[in-house]
Amino acid sequence: MIKRRYGLTRNSVTLMAAMGIGAAATALAAQPSFDCAKADGAVEELICKDAELAALDRKLAEVYEAAMKRVAQERYEDPRPFQHAWVKRRNDCTEAEDVRGCVKTEYQHRIAELQIQYGNFMVPSPVYYNCGEMTITAVFYRETEPPTVVLTPSGPHEGADQAIAFLSPSGSGAKYEGGNVMFWEHHGEAQLTWFGKEMTCQVR
């Protein structure tokens, strides 16, 4: 009679093997674009333990690499200074109430910015809004995650020449927020906050 060592049956050995494979798959899924053995700071350590954040990091690395190729081939703005600033902003998520949520949002927004800026998508038809003395050209990108709008003002205004905002939860309509701008569209009318100035806008 063959004794079972350590009380393991054939089924239990099979189960342990499956668990080992599952753990290996989880470890692989949580591998970001950087070496986790050299993780620098609390945010990178968090990414190394989180499969979704690691996947976003790999996605950003792919989009960033494609952007650098576009810079080499055509006259595109070098993304490196902006990327360095973004890394600092991502790492500052340690001060947020929801650190993981902050990191996830920073990745999603940066990916969308690069995809739009470096021509990953065809430019959609613009929508024009009259906002008093200022006109806003809004270009809505539905393919990004989250959906994004690029706002370009004309006429007298203060602030940036162009701004990007991202879809955020709202009770009704479509509300986009980003930096110093907020654009809330509902039934052809929009509420715009542009660098502290609030306006009501109508589709032109």
Each domain of the chain, given as residue ranges in start order, spans 31-117, 127-203
Contact 178, 166 (CB under 8 A): yes
Contact 127, 150 (CB under 8 A): no
Mean pLDDT of 187-201: 92
Residues 122-154: tens digit of each pLDDT: 999 999 999 988 999 999 999 999 999 999 999
Give residue 101's pLDDT.
97
Give residue 95's pLDDT.
96
How far is residue 22 CA from its own chain's centroid? 28
Give residue 24's pLDDT.
42
Give residue 74's pLDDT.
78
> 7: number of CA atoms within 13 Å, CB side?
0
Is the per-residue pLDDT at 22 higher than 70?
A: no
Contact 181, 151 (CB under 8 A): yes
Non-local CB neighbours of 18 within 8 Å, separated by 6+ positions:
none
Give residue 133's pLDDT.
87
Mean pLDDT of 22-28: 43
Q: Which fold has domain 127-203?
A: Lipocalin (2.40.128)
